Chain A
Amino acid sequence: MKYLDEYRDEKIARGIVAELGRRATRPWVLMEICGGQTHTLMRYGIDEMLPAGIELVHGPGCPVCVTSLETIDKAIEIASRPDVTLISYGDMLRVPGSRTDLFHVKAQGGDVRVVYSPTEALKFARAHPARKVVFFAIGFETTAPANAMAVWQAKREGLGNFSMLASHVLVPPAIRALLGSRRNRVQGFIGPGHVCTVMGYREYEELIREFRVPIVVGGFEPLDLLEAILMLVKQLEEGRAEVENQYVRAASYEGNLLAQKVLREVFEVCDRKWRGIGGIRESGLNLREEYSAFDADRIFGTEGVAADEPAECISAEVLQGLKKPMDCSAFGTRCTPENPLGAPMVSSEGACAAYYRYRRHALTAKANR
């Protein structure tokens, strides 16, 4: 398809890898933030094509994976009520909560539905005025404007049976938390192309001033990612630390101003707990006071729900790029996509699920050695 297939050309990919080999004079550790990018890297084996010494670690950019256990438990509690229809993006159903998951709530008769777009949740609420329709709104800055638009429309229409359990997270505060950690190994970042399509990459300049680390906004196709890696290695080898944009065909410095406007109208920045990582200051979005009538957390009184995360899952280290999924003792045995112990095994954008799908052979090879 146009503007997709072109960016998968193998000959060009080999050219970029050769160029990387000429440029890189020492090892570098790079992180891709976005789970969509992790998926592409694994699927096309890009991590295995790179010259030795260039290591990719995978960031916390899968919204399904970082939604806190508390929030999942809240969704489960709300979905268990007989008068509620809980609507969510598909992957959320299998994310383990403290005791159960949404899929089991559904199997036991709970009305849990999956949509592709928040618009469908709105349509459902309009068509079923007797149901309390709750949209479980997760996502990064890419998804926030779409979810904001749904609430904005509900308010405009006076749709009293629609509400939102909002669990939005923001990328720049997460990068700041990673870089500020004593254990940080990351020397350069592939920036999240679609987050920047919405927000622009202006916000990343501050991070560079603070930490002197190169950030290259990258797309999602194999060649996008290879080119972004090359741009990062060039910067590192030349001792530069700048924000550069590889994904010029969609992302810009300013981003999408209309999407940002709706986002700011409906949401405000709040502190947020990330699954596996913990609390990060000013790293989330919640509904503004003017929209509190649509806040499911208030409507259903779930604000007090608290939960502790299981010990065996090392997703905290995986999501911070400190460990690879294979380092987890449960990987591929007690934890599989069919029976996930931790959230990164659920979504196809989660690092554990991507490794399970595309790197199991490496694990078998290790076992046979």
Chain B
Amino acid sequence: MCLAIPGKIVSSELQNGIRVGRVQFGGITRETCLDFVPEASIGDYVIVHVGFAISLVDREEAERSYEALEAMGLLNGELESELEESQAEQ
């Protein structure tokens, strides 16, 4: 139950003085309280837990860390194939 997952804000309105939006997770959409993330707007990705957005997903950080991970994976892939070639040569 402690799961929190990223979803995309597709709408936002005020209900009883509280900011509520619809957030899309893959195929499903859920009503979500946006009061803790005033900086988030429609189209942004937020991390949602028990119906409350607890954080905006920082796009740059998400992409930066993914690229860093990717670079590491590719680099290691190259090292491995070099190793295989040199073994094959022997």
Q: Which residues of A contact B (CB under 8 A)?
A: 1-4, 6-7, 9, 11-16, 18-19, 34-36, 61-64, 89-91, 116-120, 138-140, 142-143, 145-146, 149, 153, 194, 197-198, 220, 223, 227, 246, 248-251, 256, 258-259, 262, 347, 349
Contact = CB atoms under 8 A, between A and B. Distances in A.
Contacts of A139: 1-2, 50
A2 B73 contact: no
Interface secondary structure of A, over-half rule: helix
Contact of A197 (B4, B26, B38, B75): B4
B65 A248 contact: yes
A6 B74 CA distance: 14
Interface in B1-51: 1-6, 8, 16, 18, 25-26, 30-31, 33, 35-38, 45, 47, 49-51
Nearest to B56: A250
Size range of the chain B interface in the assembly? 35 or more
A259 B36 contact: yes
A149 B52 contact: yes
Contacts of B2: 34-36, 61-63, 139-140, 142-143, 194, 349
Interface string B52-88: 1011011001101110011011111101100000000
B33 A119 contact: yes
A14 B35 contact: no
Contact of B36 (A16, A18, A62, A258): A258
A194 B58 contact: no
A12 B72 contact: yes
Interface secondary structure of B, over-half rule: mixed
A258 B18 CA distance: 13
B33 A347 contact: no
Contacts of A246: 65
A197 B55 contact: yes
Contacts of B52: 117, 145-146, 149, 259
Nearest to A4: B6
Contact of A36 (B3, B38, B51): B3
B1 A349 contact: yes
B47 A250 contact: yes
B51 A197 contact: no
Contact of B58 (A9, A227, A249, A347): A249
